[in-house]
Amino acid sequence: MGTGRSKADRGQFGGIGGSRLTQIADLDHSPTLQKALDKEEKRTRDFKREQMTILDENGNVLLHRQGGSGHVTYKISEARDYFDGATITHNHPHGDERGGVSATFSTADVETFRYGLKEMRASGAEGTYVLRNKNWNNKDTKAYEFWQAYETFTNSQDFSSIKNIKSAQEKAHKSKIGKQYDAEIKKAGELWNKGLKDEATKIFGNAEKNLKPQYKKEIQKILYEDMNAKTSGWLKQNANKYGFEYRLTR
């Protein structure tokens, strides 16, 4: 999320890409809050733009905001007014540019807990990711430390974009569509070398038009799946250390 204001007075949610966590139902929401969450997440799950809704413990809407395809913004003043003890739900779009994969939480999502947020939710293709600060109303909360640790991980060499992209390309190359695309390009090259340039050009053109878009989509799908598996794995492994609970619900 971001606004037209200075960086000091804006915040942002955003997602990066579906791991499989144990799927368990929410247990301790009030009936009215759970009903409001179910309704909002069903409504916005497949939207192409992010929708943020802040609710109090009784399911009353405190603020609603629409953003772009990868983020939605809020003002720091709004965070101070509405986040304390609240639940935020927002969708993470999962269109073709993400290979049909939605995302777990970004570092911007996790940062919101600095303002006393109780629970953050992100709905998408896999279900709804849930991150809850069990110590949200405790002065000993480790929300800031959790956010910093997560940001350090996502900025680490193990999570480098170049490394992830290269890995995704290698996996896509071995996929069914990758092998099919490579075979057609190889065939076109062989025909070209034999002087059959018209036939080679036709095969190459068909491969570029019909197979390459699918190949690129496969790369994106693998990339977002791999990145999300890493971030989701880190959250699952480390959330409890900082007094948080992390899970995926349907």
Which of helix, strand or coil describes residue 171?
helix
Interval 105-130 mean pLDDT = 93
Interval 68-86 mean pLDDT = 91
Q: Cα separation of 26 and 128, whole Å?
A: 11
- Reported as a pLDDT band with limits 50, 70 and 90, residue 103 is confident
Q: Are 109 and 75 in contact (CB under 8 A)?
A: no
Is residue 77 over pLDDT 80?
yes
Q: Which amino acid is at 186?
A: K
For the chain, give the percent of residues with pLDDT over 70. Answer: 84
For 139-149, the pLDDT digits (tens) are 889 999 999 99
Is residue 4 over pLDDT 70?
no
pLDDT (0 to 100) of residue 13: 54
pLDDT (0 to 100) of residue 99: 56
Two structure tokens written together for 211: 């197979």
Where do the DSSP E strands lie in the chain? 10-13, 51-55, 61-66, 72-75, 87-91, 119-124, 127-133, 244-249
For 165-195, the pLDDT digits (tens) are 888 888 988 999 999 999 999 999 999 999 9
Task: Find the radius of gyration of the CA atoms of the chain.
Answer: 22
Is residue 218 over pLDDT 80?
yes
For 19-48, the pLDDT digits (tens) are 344 444 445 789 999 999 999 999 998 888
pLDDT (0 to 100) of residue 225: 85
pLDDT (0 to 100) of residue 3: 36
Q: Which residues pair with 91 in a beta bridge?
A: 123
Calculate helix-pair angle for 176-193, 212-238, nearest 10 degrees: 150
pLDDT (0 to 100) of residue 176: 94
pLDDT (0 to 100) of residue 17: 38
pLDDT (0 to 100) of residue 90: 94
Interval 96-119 mean pLDDT = 83
Q: Cα separation of 35 and 53, whole Å?
A: 14
- Quote the pTM value: 0.78
